[in-house]
Amino acid sequence: MLTGCILAESLRVGAELRFPDMRITRIHRADVSASASPTQPKIFTEINFEAPDEYADELAETLAGALAEGPDWYADFRAGDDHVVIFPGRIFRYSVGDARGRAEAVTYGRDLGIPEAQLDWGD
């Protein structure tokens, strides 16, 4: 079962995510004013979810097209032994524990201007 988190604020207007057997496991509002970029809202709505691993590639592609354009957004999930990090139009998939794969995704996010505190997805 893949598990991940999407920020509601990161989705472009009109984006829709619909997958068979996708289940929301938690919705949480978080004050991120200490780590938000100047163009991000100070409150995030975290949507934690799970879905069958077989939807990992399709979900990644859908998210890559659904995230709002700009420097501030990404989504991520774990599918089996892989971590999938999605930016608008770009997907990174690496094995959990692969320091080089993780570093490539972090560097890309950093180059986009994502605040350092938000490049903290766990492996």
Residue-wise pLDDT for 41-92, tens only, equals 899 999 999 999 999 999 999 999 999 987 688 999 999 999 999 999 999 9
- pLDDT for the residue 34: 86
Question: Would residue 123 count as lying in a domain?
Answer: no
Q: Is residue 31 part of a domain?
A: yes
Domain span at 45: 2-118
Task: Decide: 95 and 101 in contact? Cβ < 8 Å.
Answer: yes
In a domain, residue 114? The reply is yes
pLDDT tens, 12-48? Answer: 999 988 888 899 999 999 998 888 888 888 999 999 9
Backbone dihedral region for residue 21 (phi beyond 0: left; psi -120 to 50: alpha; all else: beta): left
**Contact (Cβ atoms closer than 8 angstroms) between residue 53 and residue 1:** yes
Q: Is residue 109 part of a domain?
A: yes
Number of domains in the chain: 1
- Is the pLDDT at 122 greater than 80? The verdict is no
* Confidence check: pLDDT of 121 > 90: no
d(CA 94, CA 116): 20
Residue 28 is assigned to a structural domain of this protein: yes
Q: Does residue 106 lie in a domain region? A: yes
Is residue 46 situated within a structural domain? yes
